[in-house]
Structure 1
């Protein structure tokens, strides 16, 4: 079973001390993107990022509209202000390599990214050896295995890799930036939780 994100963007239109209101910014378009979940909130953090805002819970001063969205069975409630999200260094690397081994198809135009996963099946096992560890973090960065038109590689992600792979997240951050220009960096926040 996978993990999905839910929540909302809150604003304080009248500044500190005023109540938080749910902005008209939905999270429905956000895909199941574990690298984004890991980088921002520490959830499904296979890439080994130092998360921006892990495990903070629901803000004590969350608005009634946001609280109405909460349901049973959710976990890892947390939040981050625009000021915190705006300070992310998108060129920074994760402190360690990705737990998932990245798979490429070798083409005449060069390697084409296929995906990444914790288990790579029989083809990878035949190349890496029956007792090979399926976790990328068990091997030095840059370790490669090749067979036929496939290559498996141990890699380290950057924060920018998350944005390049997730246009919906970029759009959400752009919308939050616009709200922050109007209301102030500390008066816009993203409140999220997860469902598995």
Structure 2
């Protein structure tokens, strides 16, 4: 039996072992780091948990900052269809199908070339000041400033291994006993 309350948690694995690449939209949506899509972060600015595992405490001494964490129960309860609080600063690119519906092709950061091509006046506040559903059409191509949904920011395929591991651990140890602790450079 563990007698030290700070020894309740233990590090199981590092995120980089199951998560490949960077995901700034996800980091912003979930943790408030470089948030550009207009989301209220789910778990931003919480700091390092007071009862962090010895492994986590040792790793965080690498001079990094922006510590925060999210528990499995909270993560499992996220409404992935929740819209951002303001229109996305990126422009969504759609292709109009034969039946008139739109198919999402991708999202693009606001840039001067797009503004020039579509003859769009740049507002003082930049793209984030656009009215929701602002739309520009170029033949069968439609560009739109929309609100993002949480699922748009957090790519399910990229994060799936992380969620699966947390879910398995929650099944074994209980949902209140699994959390993801993160920090950023």
What range is the shorter-chain TM-score in? 0.7 to 0.9
Q: TM-score, normalised by structure 2?
A: 0.80
Within the candidate set 9, 25, 33, 1:20 is matched to: 9
SS of match in other structure, 1:170: helix
Offset at residue 107 of structure 1 (A): 7.9
Matched with 1:96 is 86
Equivalent residues in 2 for 1:1-196, closer than 5 Å: 17=5, 18-24=7-13, 26-28=15-17, 29-70=19-60, 71-72=62-63, 74-104=64-94, 111-117=103-109, 119-132=110-123, 135-147=126-138, 150-163=141-154, 165-195=155-185
Extract unaligned runs of 5+ from structure 2: none
> Highest relative contact order (Cα 8 Å, sep 6+), 1 or 2?
1
The 8 Å contact of residues 25 and 37 in structure 2, kept in 1 or not, is answered as yes
Name the SS of the counterpart of 2:28 in structure 1: helix
Deviations 1:130-150 (A, max 9, x none): 544583331221111234675
Count, aligned residues: 179
Alpha-carbon displacement from aligned partner over 1:72-125 (angstroms, at most 9, x marks no partner)? 1x22110111111112112222222112222346687965523321x3232432
CA deviations over 1:45-93 (Å, ceiling 9, x no partner): 2111121111111112212212222211x22110111111112112222
5+ residue gaps in structure 1? 1-12
Give the structure-1-normalised TM-score. Answer: 0.76
- Specify which structure has the higher proportion of helix: 2
